[in-house]
Amino acid sequence: MHAVVYHGPGDKRWEEVPDPTIVDDTDAIVRVEAVTICGTDLHILKGDVPTVTDGRVLGHEAVGTVEQVGAGVKNVAVGDRVLVSCISACGRCDYCRRASYGQCRGGGGWILGHRIDGTQAERVRVPFADTSTYPVPEGVSDEATLMLADIFPTGYEVGVLNGGVTPGATVAVVGAGPIGLAAIVTARLLSPSVIVAVDLADARLEAAERFGATATVNSGRGDAVEQVRAATDGLGVDVAIEAVGVPATFELCAAMVRPGGRVANIGVHGEPATLHLEELWIRNVTITTGLVDTYATPTLLRLVASQ
């Protein structure tokens, strides 16, 4: 089969690789029919994720059809159309029992396109198939379902829910790529009063407006913190969601949060960022980090299917 193979920073190739086979009896082999790329793949290609090594097939999101299942797979059958989650879950370890699947200690977590071969391929081996795939909902397109492999659960869990968005809250989303846009869409479920999108690219800011941002700031033009404060009674935001993954944007989020607020970091970082504790200690600010767990995927699938 063909796959996108990582050969070190800046070097990816579409090349011939062996077909995947069942290794453990809880595996499924899925024929990939829809796949996307994540900002994390871009971080891998920058060299920010050194646990990805030469020869790895990239990709951790897919919709496809099950072609084979191991003898231990109970809920997934050959021919089923499934969403392959970016997070694999053993379902048995202490973290999985707390729905913290991203931190799975039983061989799961974020492994696809990271520690094992991923989905940017014609076929993929999906470990723990029963607890790492979801049936594609009736009447929902492959493309819409695919957004729930990583993008939407990440924006919602790691951005909106970790950030504690509440009705009436003021929110900034720094980075209006797919993840930031998903954070904007799912923040609206909780009725914030203000959502400011911050990005360097006007096209992304236009997309953010279409998805529900109430104000936009191009941080390449002028002082972004001043502009965010101007949009939020001069105080800054209750919730600053970082969806880029570079030191400058984390530091920007910490500078624009109001006293008592929260900074929810989503971005994958490859370099240290400066934490200005000398300014933050007195401001009752909470900072969260997180790898997506995908515990919200069933909820998000219901929301998409109900549209």
Q: Give residues 183-202 in contact with ligand NAD (rule: CB under 6 A).
A: 198-201
- For residues 117-155, one letter each, b for 16 or more C-beta atoms within 10 angstroms of the residue's C-beta and e for the rest, the string is bbbbbebbbbbbbebbbbebbeebeeebbbbbbbbbbbb
Picked from Zn ion, ligand NAD, none, the partner binding residue 106 (CB below 5 to 8 A depending on kind) is: Zn ion
Minimum CB–partner distance for residue 82 and ligand NAD (Å): 20
Residue 294 touching ligand NAD (CB under 6 A) = no
Whether the CB-CB separation of 53 and 113 falls below 8 Å is answered with no
Among 36, 40, 132, 186, indicate the residue that binds Zn ion (CB under 5 A). 40
- Tell me, residue by residue from 112 to 151, as one string, x for binding to Zn ion by CB under 5 A and - for no binding: --------------------------------------x-
Minimum CB–partner distance for residue 135 and ligand NAD (Å): 23
Would you say 177 or 261 has its CB closer to Zn ion? Answer: 177
Picked from Zn ion, ligand NAD, none, the partner binding residue 180 (CB below 5 to 8 A depending on kind) is: ligand NAD
Residue 106 touching Zn ion (CB under 5 A) = yes
How many residues bind to ligand NAD according to rule CB under 6 A? 33
Q: Give residues 27-46 in contact with ligand NAD (rule: CB under 6 A).
A: 38-40, 42-43
How many residues bind to Zn ion according to rule CB under 5 A? 9
Contacting positions for ligand NAD (CB under 6 A): 38-40, 42-43, 150, 154, 158, 174-180, 198-201, 204, 219, 243-246, 248-249, 266-268, 290-292
User: Which residues form the interface with Zn ion (CB under 5 A)?
Assistant: 38, 40, 90, 93, 96, 104, 106, 108, 150
